[in-house]
Structure 1
Amino acid sequence: MTRPITSIDDLRALVERRVPRMFYQFCESGSWTESTFRANQNDLTAIRLRQRVARDITDRSLETTMIGEKVSMPVAIAPTGLAGMLYADGEILGAKAAAKAHIPFTLPTMSICSIEDVAAHSAVPFWFQLYVMRDKTYVRSLIGRAKAAGCSALIVTLDLQVVGQRHKDIINGLSAPPRLTLPSLVSMATKPRWCLHMLQTRRRNFGNIIGHVKGVDDIQSIPAWIAEQFDPALSWDDIKWIRDQWAGKLILKGILDPEDAELATQTGADAVIVSNHGGRQLDGALSAISALPDVARTVGARMEVFLDGGIRSGQDVIKAVASGAKAVFIGRSWLYGLGADGERGVTTALNIIRKELDLTMAFCGLRHIEDVDQRILAAPHLHQRSDMRILAMIT
């Protein structure tokens, strides 16, 4: 008898069994010692909630808005590279599941399915995530393609000027499509379900790059191009330049420090995402939930503040909202669902999060997600910097 899927971790376990090692570990890893990767989840788990009783919790609603768009719950699918290597046509399937769930889907620059692929299969507008490359002609082209596809928001990632070292990716020789080495062939041979689906699609490479960059026409030419494109000279002036190119909603991703959040308000952006790139950049950085309260206090009255990092349950969602986030982005949680069972798996992941969020809100004595705030937290976050200063003073 098949064991029922009751949690996001159940989906993670399925992905580990069904997806080749290099792609599973690409999803399930961080940089260097992976301390920040672990802290994203552990610090959320450490937060305690106040349970309330004898309160009217009928007619509950999780509906809210994100940058003016109505959403069925305060959750969006984060931009995650290589989703189409966890499951064939993965970004298309993720966009479909998100549309049915009435939440935003974000397509990354480093996706397997192209902007045009997803637009052709999506019934509603999606969001697009932009890496600021040295090749500004290419950047301008990406923005134009996002406009043509009807994308309703642009997310600019700020924390990838240089790439953090991820030991597992180096050991596994990560690539898309996978290099045909003996270890990768053995890994793929043990995943017949994955192989069958991948053989049925033509999308097995970086769809937003190949054929869209001069001189980059095949997999062999991609690594050298990517290696020289991430721009260590990225500045706030570049964000203002992007703002001039893009008239729609603009979100800046990768904010951890209140000073950077303040600078973000001067660019004309509509929102920021508190994020440490899933623990895949600076190992030893603050967890996303630890950084959130200070950023929310600094700019939350002037722009929407979202959180990305460590969300594995509906309880994590409500803890983030109570700590100052308007909504959250989920990365690994939706990828686990995708790798486990394609579009149905993503829907399963979203349903798990929705049910846990709804029940937790009820246990906290509330009926509407927009009523959630720090009052539902059982104790101050000792990992917040302001609270740590108070703790230091009294000890």
Structure 2
Amino acid sequence: MGDSLNLLPASYGDFRRAAEKRLPRFLFDYIDGGSGAEVTLRRNTADWESVQLTQKVLRDASKMDSSVELFGEKLAMPLVLAPVGMGGMTARRGEVQAKRAADKAGIPFCLSTVGICTLEEVGAVSDRPAWFQLYMLKDRGIVEEILARAWASGVRTLAFTIDLAVLGTRYRDIRNGMAGGLGPWGKFRSGALDYALHPRWAWDVGVKGGPHGFGNIAMYVKQSKNPRDYLNWTGSQFDSSVTWKDIEWLRTVWQGNLVLKGVLDVDDAKQSVAIGADGMIVSNHGGRQLDGVSSTASMLPHIADAVGDQTTLLVDGGIRSGQDLVRALALGAKAALIGRPWVLALAAGGEAALTRYLGLMKQDMRTALGLSGAINAKDVGRGVLLRP
């Protein structure tokens, strides 16, 4: 998990560097990168860092509590492992390892429609329900079948992604041959030599970690040979015609909690409440869709002021530390989601590394609570900010 000096990873940056060494370039860039010039990707982290906490002393921190309640479930800290497409390719049966780490940390894990492991495989890890993320497919019959499988696997919270009407232009994926632009360099970087340069990953995932398809849609993808075939199929099946009417339909077929993922506009937030969603995730898809839009940290307080008392408000994008969790609570969220951090920690050293990263986040959050005077997560408000 450490570098050549065997130093223990202590921050997100440490796990990221370890993951970069272990993963093939095309896979690391797919996870780490954003759209366009990655302006929004950088803003997401920078704007959380710019949210200044106050330091308040001589508060009794002996009975600190980082837990929150979310959709009737107690979480050890206000954190959810976000859905990440192909996240399971970073370690052997990666989503299963991530679910085990999330269980130990006392937080939910959300499986992507285009995850490697199946709903049934993840559901068998424990009795603690996973969340499931849905992309709307053109074939509504397939959607209904997937939702029925999710319910049978214990899922009670559905995160429906609403910001993928078109796919963002991701330069790193183009350069590596993941999204068109299959020139000689793209083929070279994504080929056998790249695997040979990363033997631990090639053995752990490439040889021992199969099957490598998108488990939840494998039965619908005929004659597929590798993840790229699945990406091509999903690209043809993602429905770009989705409107609020489709959310109304989804509300009728899904009986559990419905959370809309990808809200970045106050009017859209109000419509999400009006349509009957149980919650929403303030999100710009981790800076992977429209480059140059607002960061989630900058939009969260506006959306919280508009609808925060009418819905369960969550946020993702750029969350890297326990301090960021406190910042998210202070700006109006009930909890935050992380995507890249859990996937890269998993790549750095599997379940053990992810367990360590989540432990560090909780420890960091407790430090922020104890020194900002909030003490308990449920008490965090804008009063802990230097400039509310």
TM-score normalised according to structure 1 size: 0.92
Q: CA deviation at 1:225?
A: 2.4
Q: Is the 8 A contact 2:36 2:291 kept in 1?
A: yes
**Paired position in structure 1 for 2:126:** 122
Q: CA deviation at 1:221?
A: 5.0
Separation (CA, whole Å) in 2 of partners of 1:32 and 1:214: 30
Question: Do structure 1's residue 334 and structure 2's residue 338 form an aligned pair?
Answer: no
Amino acid paired to 1:72 = A
Separation (CA, whole Å) in 1 of partners of 2:375 and 2:131: 29
SS at match of 1:38: helix
Separation (CA, whole Å) in 2 of partners of 1:75 and 1:127: 13
Separation (CA, whole Å) in 2 of partners of 1:64 and 1:224: 40
Please point out which of 196, 206, 209 is paired with 2:203.
196
Separation (CA, whole Å) in 2 of partners of 1:370 and 1:183: 48
SS at match of 1:25: helix
Separation (CA, whole Å) in 1 of partners of 2:246 and 2:30: 29
Question: Do structure 1's residue 210 and structure 2's residue 214 form an aligned pair?
Answer: no
Please point out which of 21, 31, 34 is paired with 2:35.
31
Separation (CA, whole Å) in 2 of partners of 1:268 and 1:362: 37
Q: Is the 8 A contact 1:256 1:288 kept in 2?
A: yes
SS at match of 1:209: helix
Separation (CA, whole Å) in 1 of partners of 2:372 and 2:383: 10
Give the alignment of 1:54-93 within 5 angstroms: 54-93=58-97
**Paired position in structure 1 for 2:189:** 183
Give the alignment of 1:1-395 within 5 angstroms: 1-174=5-178, 181-184=187-190, 185-198=192-205, 199-211=207-219, 213=220, 215=222, 217-219=224-226, 221-380=229-388
Amino acid paired to 2:11 = S
Separation (CA, whole Å) in 2 of partners of 1:364 and 1:74: 17
Q: Which digits, 9 at most, give the CA deviation of each residue in 1:31-80, with x for residues without a partner? A: 00100010000001111111001111111001111122110000000001
SS at match of 2:217: coil
Q: CA deviation at 1:227?
A: 2.3
Q: CA deviation at 1:121?
A: 2.5
Amino acid paired to 2:67 = E
SS at match of 2:216: coil
Amino acid paired to 1:375 = G
Q: Is the 8 A contact 1:210 1:218 kept in 2?
A: no
Amino acid paired to 2:204 = H
Q: Is the 8 A contact 1:210 1:216 kept in 2?
A: no
Q: Is the 8 A contact 1:67 1:271 kept in 2?
A: no
Separation (CA, whole Å) in 1 of partners of 2:82 and 2:33: 16
Separation (CA, whole Å) in 2 of partners of 1:319 and 1:222: 38
Identity fraction in percent:
40
TM-score normalised according to structure 2 size: 0.94
Separation (CA, whole Å) in 1 of partners of 2:110 and 2:382: 28
Gaps of 5+ in 2: 180-184
Separation (CA, whole Å) in 1 of partners of 2:231 and 2:221: 14
Q: CA deviation at 1:9?
A: 0.9
SS at match of 2:158: strand
CA RMSD of aligned residues (A): 1.6
Q: Which digits, 9 at most, give the CA deviation of each residue in 1:185-206, with x for residues without a partner? A: 2221111111121111222121
Amino acid paired to 2:210 = R
Q: Is the 8 A contact 1:51 1:364 kept in 2?
A: yes
Gaps of 5+ in 1: 381-395
**Paired position in structure 1 for 2:182:** none
Amino acid paired to 2:134 = L
